[in-house]
């Protein structure tokens, strides 16, 4: 058994930022990275919207810099996964995959969310070559070109609207005869001239060898197949927050996102904080994740001071 003041679970922008702040505050944070250190940025190429990198930076390189900065202030980084937690007492108990037991005064959860994919071979093969799960991140690279967005939820609607401002034609592929998105978002999409909604439409294949050259879709009512000459294919069919290991220890919404008190990083359990995409289904940006990771560390520090544990 080991006792720590501040345990950070997850190693994306939120986790590393929390580590930098906690370490500089003298909390000697211990970080468990999980299976995918760096998180979703590890499957991203150019990041051009993170302030401070005027030339842009590759996602994995950015995460390496975050890690170096966290390590510079003596964050104890461990490449293991946390598999079990018990937050019922004042001391938070956490177990790693090897059975190591940690007792923490504060825990920061920054395990992120994973994008859902259609599961097509062509989608995986052309990932980052025109296939993306984030229009705000990658849409700019396809400025002036014809693109497609899959999905009928709020995310797909937002992505289609974002792309409609920089692309001449945006095809929205909706698998049913209605959208799941909120009424207002549906209205906005429908009234945008350069968004073409394809109802009852499923994707058969993303076309292209080294980059997206089109997408073959099928109407699931008529069986009619069409090739759309798009240069980018945005998948917006939802995300899955990485909260299974919590097994109900914290309050989450119906989709599994951790609920934090508005404007804070406080979860339903005192001393447990959350930052990044694991508690954010709206913004999902590296910079917002870093911001909420910072909030989580500052609140952990405040909590420890109030309890006389700092």
Annotated active-site positions, please?
A: 134, 137-138
CB-count burial class (<10 Å; 0-12, 13-18, 19+) for 308: exposed
Return the residue of 24, 175, 188, 198 that touches ligand NDP, per CB under 6 A. Answer: 175
Span near ligand NDP by CB under 6 A; candidates 74-82, 122-130, 154-162, 296-304 = 154-162
d(CA 246, CA 232): 36
Span near ligand NDP by CB under 6 A; candidates 105-113, 148-156, 160-168, 210-218 = 148-156
- Residues 138, 304: contact at Cβ < 8 Å? no
d(CA 110, CA 16): 9
Phi, psi (degrees; rounded to nearest 5) at 245: -65, -15
Q: Is 156 in the site for ligand NDP (CB under 6 A)?
A: yes
Sheet bearing 225-228, strands edge to edge: 201-207, 214-219, 225-228
d(CA 174, CA 133): 16
201: region left, alpha or beta (phi > 0 left; psi from -120 to 50 alpha): beta
User: What one-character DSSP code corresponds to residue 40?
Assistant: G
Residue 266's DSSP bridge partners are: 273
Return the residue of 26, 60, 238, 256 that touches ligand NDP, per CB under 6 A. Answer: 238
Span near ligand NDP by CB under 6 A; candidates 43-51, 72-80, 150-158, 206-214 = 150-158
Size of residue set near ligand NDP by CB under 6 A: 17
Question: Which is closer to ligand NDP, CB of 60 or CB of 153?
Answer: 153
- Considering only residues 120 through 139, tell me which ones interact with ligand NDP, judged by CB under 6 A: none
- Considering only residues 89 through 118, tell me which ones interact with ligand NDP, judged by CB under 6 A: 118
* Least Cβ distance, residue 56 to ligand NDP (angstroms): 25
- Residues 277, 113: contact at Cβ < 8 Å? yes
295 contact partners, CB below 8 Å, separation of at least 6: 264, 265, 273, 275
Question: Which is closer to ligand NDP, CB of 102 or CB of 147?
Answer: 147
Return the residue of 24, 180, 198, 240 that touches ligand NDP, per CB under 6 A. Answer: 180
d(CA 79, CA 35): 7
* Least Cβ distance, residue 202 to ligand NDP (angstroms): 6
Give me 22's structure tokens.
Answer: 């906690």
* Least Cβ distance, residue 123 to ligand NDP (angstroms): 11
Question: Which is closer to ligand NDP, CB of 96 or CB of 226?
Answer: 226
Question: Which is closer to ligand NDP, CB of 239 or CB of 266?
Answer: 239
Q: Is 150 in the site for ligand NDP (CB under 6 A)?
A: yes
Return the residue of 9, 85, 167, 237 that touches ligand NDP, per CB under 6 A. Answer: 237
Q: Which residues form the interface with ligand NDP (CB under 6 A)?
A: 118, 150-156, 158, 175-176, 180, 237-239, 281-282
């Amino acid at each position: 058994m080991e006792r720590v003041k501040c345990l950070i679970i997850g190693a994306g922008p939120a986790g590393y930022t929390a580590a930098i702040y906690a370490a500089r505050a003298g909390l000697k944070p211990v970080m468990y990275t999980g299976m995918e250190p760096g998180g979703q940025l590890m499957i991203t190429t150019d990041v051009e919207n993170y302030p401070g990198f005027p030339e842009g930076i590759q996602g994995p390189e950015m995460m390496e810099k975050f890690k170096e900065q966290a390590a510079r202030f003596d964050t104890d980084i461990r490449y293991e996964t946390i598999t079990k937690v018990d937050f019922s007492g004042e001391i938070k108990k956490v177990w790693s995959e090897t059975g190591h037991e940690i007792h923490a005064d504060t825990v920061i959860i920054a395990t992120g969310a994973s994008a859902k994919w259609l599961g097509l071979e062509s989608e995986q093969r052309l990932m980052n070559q025109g296939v993306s799960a984030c229009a705000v991140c990658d849409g700019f690279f396809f400025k002036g070109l014809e693109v497609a967005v899959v999905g009928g939820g709020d995310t797909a609607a937002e992505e289609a609207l974002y792309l409609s401002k920089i692309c001449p034609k945006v095809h929205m592929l909706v698998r049913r005869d209605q959208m799941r998105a909120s009424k207002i978002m549906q209205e906005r999409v429908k009234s945008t001239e350069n968004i073409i909604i394809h109802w009852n439409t499923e994707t058969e294949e993303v076309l292209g060898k080294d980059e997206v050259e089109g997408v073959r879709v099928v109407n699931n009512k008529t069986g009619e197949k069409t090739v759309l000459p798009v240069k980018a294919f945005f998948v917006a069919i939802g995300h899955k927050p990485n909260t299974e290991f919590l097994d109900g220890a914290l309050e989450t919404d119906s989709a599994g996102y951790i609920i934090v008190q508005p404007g804070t990083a406080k979860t339903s359990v005192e001393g447990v904080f959350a930052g990044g995409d694991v508690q954010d289904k709206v913004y999902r940006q590296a910079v917002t994740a870093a911001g909420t990771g910072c909030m989580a560390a500052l609140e952990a520090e405040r909590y420890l001071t109030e309890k006389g544990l700092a």
